[in-house]
Copies of this chain bind each other. A is one copy, B any other.
Amino acid sequence: MQFTAAQIALIINGKLEGNADAQVGSFGKIEEARAGQLSFLANPKYEEYLYQTRASIVIVNESLELKQAVNATLIRVPDAYSAFATLLAKYQELMTQQLIGIQQPSYIAPSAKMGDNIFVAAFVHIGENVHIGNNVKLFPGVVLGNNVQVGDNCILHAGVKIYHDCVIGNNVTIHAGTIIGSDGFGFAPQEDGSFKKVPQIGNVVVEDCVEIGANATIDRATMGSTIIRSGAKLDNLIQIAHNVEVGNNTVIAAQSGVSGSTKLGKNVMMGGQSGIAGHLNIADGARINGQSGVTKSIKEPNTAVTGTPAYEYASTIRSQAISRNLPQLEKRVKELEKLVQQLLAERVNVP
């Protein structure tokens, strides 16, 4: 698809400077863009690239004062980065909307109900009594178990697997290879040392506007639901155990894990490779540093923690700094011991 500068200026409500008929079909960084590409200049540090760029159209800030001639057509807006991001989002929406139809071979149980404008790629498997809303896009290899519900405007990328009875809200995006609704890790120890499986008969509920990365795993509840509240953003390879609740707009970076029955509040942030033990409550706005291991509930909202076991951020950083200098501290203690021994020895001589 090609767009003219005039069309783009209309969409982002910008002022045209240059050839209104200039055409672009894709996007590029200003320093790498080729002819036929659209770029933007937001950071004044990169202004020099504007005069060299081969991009056909560049979105710039209204306030920019040109220091020399520019080959590209310019579109001026109050905030170039924001306008560019808006354009990208609209473009991706357009691309996604064009995906319509049911490729063959796919497997759709006769009892499944599907909305309008959906895309079902080849090798998608849809079980009995599945309900799918409007504008849903299912990429190759998606598997929806029996009774799964998927709301409107969802994108499930290649190979996403959702076990039976799980519920996905509206405007949810799940990246390739992610598993929703696998059994929680529940085994009862037996007298002979073996383990007996505790059946996991709950489900997973993913609310609206959630995005989940690639190859993540979210286990179904033992009973009831594992819940991902609306607006939460989960990165690649994260693990959410059974009966966990992740609060609204909580953000979990890659390779982090949350153990069973823990409840995260709203707007919590977990850094990469961090972990939280089971049966804890994490207050709203808590910030958990990368690789930290939280072993106690966090009761105070907006608390920052770090380390394993995790403690309040600032004091831990102080302790870690001294810890780094332990050889020196030990040296000081040794020196003191010598001096005190000397003093003690001398003392004997005091009459």
Q: Which residues of A contact B (CB under 8 A)?
A: 27-29, 32, 85, 88-89, 91-92, 103, 105, 107, 121-123, 125, 139-141, 143, 145, 157-159, 161, 163, 173, 175-177, 179, 182-183, 185, 187-188, 193-195, 197-199, 201, 209, 211, 213-217, 219, 223-224, 231, 233, 235-237, 239, 241, 248-249, 251, 253-255, 257, 259, 266-267, 272-273, 275, 277, 290-291, 293, 307-309, 311, 315-316, 318-320, 322-327, 329-330, 332-333, 336-337, 339-340, 343-344, 346-347, 350
Contact = CB atoms under 8 A, between A and B. Distances in A.
B159 A143 contact: yes
B343 A231 contact: no
Contact of A239 (B157, B236, B290, B327): B236
B239 A187 contact: no
A58 to B, nearest CB: 14
A220 to B, nearest CB: 11
Contacts of A223: 27-29
Contacts of A176: 143, 161, 163, 179, 182
A346 B259 CA distance: 58
Nearest to A82: B188
20 contacts: A27-B223, A88-B199, A103-B107, A105-B105, A123-B141, A141-B141, A141-B161, A177-B215, A179-B215, A183-B213, A193-B266, A195-B231, A197-B211, A214-B217, A239-B255, A253-B259, A255-B275, A291-B293, A322-B329, A329-B333
Identical chains bound together, number: 3
A123 B161 CA distance: 13
B273 A233 contact: no
A339 B194 CA distance: 56
B327 A326 contact: no
B143 A140 contact: yes
Contacts of A235: 185, 239
A215 B159 CA distance: 12
A267 B28 CA distance: 30
A267 B236 contact: no
